[in-house]
Amino acid sequence: AYDLRQRRHSILRNFPVIGHARYVLEEVGPELRQYIVTSNTEERPFDRDQRRWIYASSKRENNYFAFGTSRDLETSPNYFIIKHSPFPLPAPVPGDRDYDDQYRIPAAKVVGAARDREHAFRPASVINVSAMSYGALSSNAITALNQGAAIAGCLHNTGEGGVSPYHQQGGELIWQLGTGYFGARDAHGRFDLGRLVETAAANPVRAIEVKLSQGAKPGLGGVLPAAKITEEISRIRGVPRDRDCISPAAHPEFHDVDSLLDFVERIAAATGLPVGIKSAIGEPSLWSDLADAMVSGERGVDFITVDGGEGGTGAGPLVFTDQVALPFKLGFSRVYTEFAKRGIADRVVFIGSGKLGFPHESTLAFGLGCDMVN
């Protein structure tokens, strides 16, 4: 009787019994496909074999696979192959001086050295934690990530949500500034350089990253619903609690390459920290213009984080997550080429981001020219 009288679902109104069966099948469809239909290598964004490797590795269980690869090595046109050496280096053994540090590979470049930043530094790890804000992630999640970063000796990117107490668990930070300037804004929402300097000095911030866009929602700002804004988040971000927290699409502080570089140098001069940018790759003129502007050496960014269009987020419009911005391999190649052609690639630390957490993806990123990966 309810199905026949309600007007929200036409299927249930016309076919009340079959309609419910349809919705049940639709609800359990992903599980049916996961366990019955798809193979171990078909799912996205991470397939079953990849998830199994991650879980086993994180639990220190057996992460070896038997009977060789199940991948199609010969007919797949874009299959990635690593050419191994016939004379590999010997692996450290327990008791050797280098045994505990065998997986700690420092960056080859010193971040900020090319611009003589006061607090230039060499990152202790080429593999670091990518950006995800407190607010999008819980306090427990941020705490765990930062504690893990401290154990691994790597950098933890804060995301654009500001620096929280949960980022102070021993891991060193890259503080990301989005268009909302959370944690570095005044009462009217405008960028506040004084507050930025104060916050950076009070926390283990090693560098500042100005986010132009991210792979999962390039060209869009962020949204944190009012229901998720606690008193603590409101205080950290400097936003009211009675409305959604909206990051605009564009930065109010600059509008082109020239004003972007002025903004970067202004922050670097006030803090002494290396300052870089993060972006998904779309219109190519940005990168040719930026490389041209940096040839003279008078102004410049210290690092560039390239995010692939396959990057993740808490939420984003489907058309943006699926169709906007180049995938990492294409996007990074185009950016790096602009700086290499002008002979200034050595002045910039290049960081890759966008589902590069697997060994083969990181290896490819390094081969393309990345100095570090997130």
- Predicted pLDDT at 315: 66
Ranges 21-35, 220-234, 307-321, 327-341, most confident: 327-341
Indicate whether 244 pLDDT > 90: no
pLDDT in tens, 200-209: 999 999 999 9
Mean pLDDT over 207-226 rounds to 81
- Predicted pLDDT at 211: 94
> What CA–CA distance (Å, rounded) separates 292 from 277?
16
Mean pLDDT over 314-335 rounds to 85
Share of the chain above pLDDT 70, in %: 97
- Predicted pLDDT at 249: 85
Mean pLDDT over 43-55 rounds to 87
Indicate whether 76 pLDDT > 90: no
- Predicted pLDDT at 314: 65
Confidence of residue 162 (pLDDT cuts 50, 70, 90): very high
Mean pLDDT over 24-33 rounds to 88
Confidence of residue 342 (pLDDT cuts 50, 70, 90): very high
> What CA–CA distance (Å, rounded) separates 352 from 326?
13
pLDDT in tens, 269-281: 999 999 999 999 9
Indicate whether 316 pLDDT > 90: no
Predicted TM-score (pTM) of the model is 0.89
Indicate whether 219 pLDDT > 80: no
